[in-house]
Structures are given as structure tokens and as C-alpha cells.
Amino acid sequence: MLRQARRRYLVIDHTKLDKINFYRIGGFDLINGLVIDRLEDPDWRRFFREKGISVVEAEERRGAGAP
């Protein structure tokens, strides 16, 4: 399914980047974009830029409708 999609995004919070897990769905070569709460590490930012992966940092907003 991932290989057939035109655009593939990984949506995670920043704590997941440096974790080692027992499972793997695929490598970063399978995604076009990353949606993350914040990306503070310059090494990760450089890695995604060099791979051509767009990064969207999703800011938490408080206000109307927010708990």
C-alpha cells in the first residue's frame, strides 16, 4: 500500500525519533514528508533535508475548541 501511494507521510511526536523498536514497516526512503510536533535536533533536520523529505512542525494551539 505504501509503495502505491503518491504521497506518503509519517506522523509522529518528537520522542519517537531516537527510539529503537522491535518492528519496522519501512525505511525513510518510503516517505515524502514528516509531520512532527517539534524537530529540535539539527542532525535530524539535516538528515531529512538531505533525503528530500519535507518536514511540517505541527504546533499545539490552545483556544476555541481546545481542551
pLDDT by 10s per residue, the chain, length 67: 777 888 999 999 999 988 887 777 788 888 999 999 999 999 999 999 999 999 999 977 666 555 5
Residue 31 covered by a domain? yes
The answer to the question of residue 62 being in a domain is no
Query: Is 67 among the domain residues?
Result: no
The residue type found at 50 is E
Domain count of the chain? 1
Q: Which SS3 state, helix, strand or coil, does residue 62 take?
A: coil
Q: Is residue 66 part of a domain?
A: no
Task: At 42, give phi and psi (nearest 5°).
Answer: -65, -25
Q: How confident is the model at residue 63, as a pLDDT?
A: 61
What is the span of the domain harbouring residue 39? 9-57
Residue 2 falls within a domain, yes or no?
A: no
In a domain, 64, yes or no: no
50 occurs within a structural domain: yes
In a domain, 1, yes or no: no
In whole angstroms, how large is the CA radius of gyration of the chain? 14
